[in-house]
Structure 1
């Protein structure tokens, strides 16, 4: 290239450089960063007023969802979100709850209740069926061979009173026992009074004969008549040993009966057993002596009462229920065996008063339990608590709450959702821009 050409090329390059410098000076570099004289002064001013986070003291890490949980070291919550660092001077600005206007509180229908100490009891309901009291049953039997000559109680279900004659029987063995007594008594009377040894032997024979009659359950009236008159009774009565109803009759008139045969079974139904099937998880709350309320379909307007008498030591492996025996008075005979019933037991879940809140106040995620605390002026704070026993619609709070604090019992799920959304948006928000940095390219003026 000739010398004039080189001179022309240099002039062109210098012109282009000048034009580019003018454009940059006027409109700034790409990204909106302008190199004007004010920027160094602004940067210097910022360095004198704002301390970088690297120079601030790290206080703790807070939960990204706004829950009342902090950590001295970095960690993740149950959703895998990183805890947010809080530096010195920033802790006063951390909002762990939510603030609502009175209009929004009314619109959401927020209702609160104070945490108070109270006794807790939980109703236990179970199905049950009535049975005869096993300790109030007796079999009518005889200890000798006999024949039934007259059957007076001849129907199952018939009520009888103690001492009532149930049948008249004839027994050759009993007739022979009476004659043996009369023979012993005659021998005693014929013995000379001076012969003491013979007299004593005769007395022992008489007493032995009477003892045999008593052991064979000869009615006392028959024994007295035998001793008084010396007459043998061919027929005698068999009486009911107690008051009750006949639940089993195994004889008919004219039948031969043998020693040990069951003639009747009598049951006293003035008190019945109620066998309730209680679920396995409720057994620990039931104690003997607890009162029970009982309802039966046959008497919808009547409530019966009873008491827990015994808890059986086994659990049904198929239904996972245990039997509980309840004793129920039945003076008028209204309750019948095998009748179904529903029982209600008010079981005490704790032995002394404890701080409790309504069950509706608890938000249970499975891994943690949260209550929304009303801290006043429209502010609500989600707080993690530790729970205990439940009963009467309340749940015991063992940790995380003080007596008298108001907790939200209605619309708490809406407040919790809003608090979580607010915390989530705050955790994803970009950090504020520092002074001297533009948020975008400036438009040409």
Structure 2
């Protein structure tokens, strides 16, 4: 068989074998100089594989230095020629001649370090006892472990994404369940300050809406009648004292004015409502005798409603008095009511670890009923000054440390410890450790953090071992 064909078949077989033996994680291909089998010199009449100044081309490599190879001269997708790799260059990469030009372009390595992090370096390319290529170290790469270097192709494959730390307004919506309650400031209890008989009951049902001044019942009381008579018949000097007694007894001003106008004082009079509201509880029956201080009615004004929201303990710090809120009720689907936080209870529920936050909502048409279930969304932090923040995906929180990965360019990343502040709207405030404008990793950061931890662990493992100076002329013993 033609020797040139044998040589070509041998090269193709070596390329296939080398492709199958690509070592994951090193980013290097095996040395073809070692993988190529020994062949007899080609026939003088057979054409060479390819030559340039009588040098044999072993294979062709992508012009960008990426791990793309070909047994024949081909072009890239954008029309550029693959670069030939000669036998002498490949041998040089194995440590037998001058080192080849690296994929970094015109940059030359300062030295080569052990791929497993062991404390030995080499001034020229070489392999360790397992056949793994030593890793080139360029100027600026050796920073004492402050940064971690990740190859750009790995950055692309891992989907690394970066964003700038910026000043933003951290508006965090706090959501909590709530229950509608009456406005306690409008509660009124109707009582009498003397024993009396209820002759006529005008408001005789719960839920009745009454207006201020509207008569509730007609009352007869010997104490009331005696005080009115004394006030009408008293001399001018004693009028002031008599009127004070009427006020102390709680006799309505309308009854006092009627007694002064009429010649004869009626034994009973109508008792008006002191305020507008809805009768929440009626405790009197027509004809009853009511003792002094006994409640007759309980009124409440429903034009405003309190919604008591049960806010989780961890969300409480971001809420302040005056924060706007949106309230929806399960009984009124599709409707949203505006309100604001007016009070935060000073005590937490020890079982649910929640705090009661009062949301005041206007209810002019009385559609909101007491004890209705509600969903509350409080716009915590509204109107506050912007804060330095990053995406919550950028922070790696292990419990005892919080770090972000600052992108330094060219695949270099610096793990940076930070202090965290408020959270809101997918952002986390950075109170210390970062400046506005610095870029941080927000995707695939755990992969880079893992490499950083491995680098730190290997450095600590070999901290006490002597390390040769970069560029030393003598290689360490294997």
Same fold (TM over 0.5): yes
Following superposition, the deviation at residue 264 of structure 1 comes to 0.5
1:116 aligns to what? 166
Residues 423 and 144 of structure 1, relative CA distance in 2, 3 Å threshold: closer
> Which of residues 181, 187, 208 is equivalent to 1:131?
181
Residues 100 and 316 of structure 1, relative CA distance in 2, 3 Å threshold: same
Residues 383 and 147 of structure 1, relative CA distance in 2, 3 Å threshold: same
1:343 aligns to what? 376
State the number of aligned residues. 336
Following superposition, the deviation at residue 153 of structure 1 comes to 0.8
Alignment of 1:178-193 (within 5 A): 178-181=228-231, 184=233
Alignment of 1:4-403 (within 5 A): 92-93=141-142, 96-101=147-152, 104-181=154-231, 184=233, 202-205=235-238, 208-348=241-381, 352-377=385-410, 379-392=411-424, 393-403=426-436
In 1, the alpha carbon distance for the partners of 2:326 and 2:202 equals 40
Kindly indicate whether the alpha-carbon contact (under 8 Å) linking 2:179 and 2:373 is maintained by their aligned counterparts in 1: yes
Kindly indicate whether the alpha-carbon contact (under 8 Å) linking 1:349 and 1:389 is maintained by their aligned counterparts in 2: no
- Secondary structure of the 2:280 match is strand
Deviates more, 1:238-247 or 1:324-333: 324-333
In 1, the alpha carbon distance for the partners of 2:166 and 2:436 equals 6
1:29 aligns to what? none
In 2, the alpha carbon distance for the partners of 1:92 and 1:381 equals 11
Structure richer in helix, relative to its length: 1
In 1, the alpha carbon distance for the partners of 2:206 and 2:116 equals 75
Residues 207 and 110 of structure 1, relative CA distance in 2, 3 Å threshold: closer
Q: Which has the higher contact order (CA 8 A, sep 6+)?
A: 1
Residues 372 and 233 of structure 1, relative CA distance in 2, 3 Å threshold: same
Kindly indicate whether the alpha-carbon contact (under 8 Å) linking 2:420 and 2:432 is maintained by their aligned counterparts in 1: no
In 1, the alpha carbon distance for the partners of 2:412 and 2:476 equals 37
In 1, the alpha carbon distance for the partners of 2:449 and 2:199 equals 87
Following superposition, the deviation at residue 105 of structure 1 comes to 4.1
In 2, the alpha carbon distance for the partners of 1:226 and 1:428 equals 103
In 1, the alpha carbon distance for the partners of 2:212 and 2:336 equals 30
Residues 100 and 149 of structure 1, relative CA distance in 2, 3 Å threshold: same
Following superposition, the deviation at residue 438 of structure 1 comes to 8.5
In 1, the alpha carbon distance for the partners of 2:476 and 2:316 equals 70
In 2, the alpha carbon distance for the partners of 1:65 and 1:329 equals 70
Following superposition, the deviation at residue 428 of structure 1 comes to 8.4
Following superposition, the deviation at residue 112 of structure 1 comes to 1.7
Kindly indicate whether the alpha-carbon contact (under 8 Å) linking 2:330 and 2:372 is maintained by their aligned counterparts in 1: no
Following superposition, the deviation at residue 426 of structure 1 comes to 8.8
- Secondary structure of the 2:295 match is coil
Following superposition, the deviation at residue 304 of structure 1 comes to 2.2
Kindly indicate whether the alpha-carbon contact (under 8 Å) linking 1:161 and 1:243 is maintained by their aligned counterparts in 2: yes
* Unmatched runs of 5 consecutive residues or more in structure 2: 1-114, 118-137
* Unmatched runs of 5 consecutive residues or more in structure 1: 1-63, 67-88, 186-201, 440-445
Following superposition, the deviation at residue 240 of structure 1 comes to 0.8
In 1, the alpha carbon distance for the partners of 2:458 and 2:476 equals 24
1:3 aligns to what? none
In 2, the alpha carbon distance for the partners of 1:216 and 1:93 equals 93
Kindly indicate whether the alpha-carbon contact (under 8 Å) linking 2:323 and 2:382 is maintained by their aligned counterparts in 1: no
Following superposition, the deviation at residue 424 of structure 1 comes to 6.5
TM-score by length of 2: 0.60
Following superposition, the deviation at residue 271 of structure 1 comes to 1.9
Following superposition, the deviation at residue 151 of structure 1 comes to 1.2
In 2, the alpha carbon distance for the partners of 1:388 and 1:279 equals 20
Kindly indicate whether the alpha-carbon contact (under 8 Å) linking 2:171 and 2:381 is maintained by their aligned counterparts in 1: yes
Deviates more, 1:349-358 or 1:325-334: 349-358
Kindly indicate whether the alpha-carbon contact (under 8 Å) linking 1:116 and 1:403 is maintained by their aligned counterparts in 2: yes
Following superposition, the deviation at residue 235 of structure 1 comes to 3.1
Following superposition, the deviation at residue 241 of structure 1 comes to 0.6
Residues 147 and 399 of structure 1, relative CA distance in 2, 3 Å threshold: closer
- Secondary structure of the 2:197 match is strand
**How large is the RMSD of aligned CA atoms in angstroms?**
3.7
- Secondary structure of the 1:302 match is strand
In 2, the alpha carbon distance for the partners of 1:401 and 1:229 equals 85
TM-score by length of 1: 0.64
Residues 133 and 383 of structure 1, relative CA distance in 2, 3 Å threshold: same
In 1, the alpha carbon distance for the partners of 2:360 and 2:170 equals 26
In 2, the alpha carbon distance for the partners of 1:438 and 1:140 equals 102
Kindly indicate whether the alpha-carbon contact (under 8 Å) linking 2:313 and 2:355 is maintained by their aligned counterparts in 1: yes
In 1, the alpha carbon distance for the partners of 2:301 and 2:211 equals 10
- Secondary structure of the 1:328 match is strand
In 2, the alpha carbon distance for the partners of 1:107 and 1:90 equals 25
- Secondary structure of the 1:147 match is strand
